[in-house]
Homo-oligomer: A and B are copies of this chain.
C-alpha cells in the first residue's frame, strides 16, 4: 500500500515539482496539495508541464493529517516552522524545504531570526544523504538542504580533512530565486546579465560552516545567471599540504563510490547535463600552477537542490529504495 503524502506549499517552484515527483512515484500517493496563494486553482493550470490535476487547498493541519502519513513542506523560512510543528504534533513524517530546521539554534538565530519551534530542532536531521544517510533512515523530521549548500558541500566534503579554507563562487539559475515576481526576477533584469549578490554575507554560508566543521575560512558568493534550472558551485581550495590530481581523484572516489546520485566526471560539468535529474555531477582536480584544488559541482537546483532531494530523503525515511521515483 502506498504511503499517502501531502505537499504543503505546492504553489512555489520546489513545492510544485515535489507534488509531481510524489504523484509519479510508484510507492507514494499524492493526497493533498495546499498553498497560501492560488487556493482553488488547479496545480496543472499553474504548472501545466507537471500535469498534477489537483486543486490547491488552504492549509488545514487536521485535514492534511486526515489524508496523509507524510508531508513535504515548501514554505519560506519562518513560515515553515509552525506548520511543521502542526504536522509533527499530528504524527506525520515531514521533509521541510525551508531553512528552519537546517541549523542549530544559535546559527539559525544569528543568520535568520528567533526560532518559532526550537523544541523540534533536536529531532531534525540535515537531509543530505551523502553525509547523513544513516540518521535519515530513522528520522521523522528532515530539513532538506538549500540548493547552494547541496552543491558546495558535495564539492567540499571529500576535502574536509585536508582543509576548511575555500572560496565558493556559486552560479544559479533564476528558479532558485523563487516564484515571486520582483525586480530581481524580471526577465529584463536577468537576461544578458550576470552579477554577484549577497556579497555582504549570504545565509547559505551558515550551512557550509555547520556541515564542514569550524575553524575554516569559507567565502561564499552567489551569482544570478540567465537560465532557469541549474546551479554550479566552483570551489577553490588551498590545501594544507600538497596534493596531486590523483590524490584528489582518490578522495572523491572514496567519498562517493556507490552513491546513486553523485557522478564523478572526467571533465568540468555543465548544468545542462543534470537538468531535470537528481544528479550532482562533480569534477575535481589540482591546478598545476598553484597547487589549489578545484572542485566543481553541478546540480539542478529544483531537483537535487530541493524537491528531488526531498524525495530522496523521504525514500530513506520510509525504508523505500533510495532511487525510487527519481531515475
What is the interface of chain A, defined by CB distance below 8 A to chain B? 13, 48-49, 167, 169, 171, 173-175, 179, 181-183, 185-197, 199-201, 205, 217-219, 221, 223, 225-230, 232, 234, 236, 265, 268-277, 281, 283, 285, 287-292, 294, 296, 298
Contacts and interface: CB of A to CB of B under 8 A. Distances in A.
A172 B243 CA distance: 30
B191 A228 contact: yes
Name, among A232, A265, A268, the residue most crowded by chain B CB atoms within 10 Å (CB to CB): A268
A169 B199 contact: no
Contact of A181 (B182, B205, B227, B269): B182
Number of copies: 4
A228 B167 CA distance: 27
B223 A226 contact: no
Given A205-B289, A268-B199, A193 B230 contact: yes
B167 A236 contact: yes
B171 A194 contact: yes
Nearest to A327: B24
Nearest to A236: B167
Contacts of A167: 167, 169, 236, 292
25 contacts: A13-B188, A49-B277, A169-B169, A174-B187, A175-B188, A179-B186, A181-B181, A185-B188, A186-B187, A187-B187, A191-B226, A191-B272, A192-B192, A192-B228, A193-B230, A194-B230, A194-B271, A195-B269, A199-B287, A201-B287, A201-B289, A218-B289, A226-B226, A226-B227, A276-B276
Contacts of A195: 232, 268-271, 296, 298
A89 B217 CA distance: 55
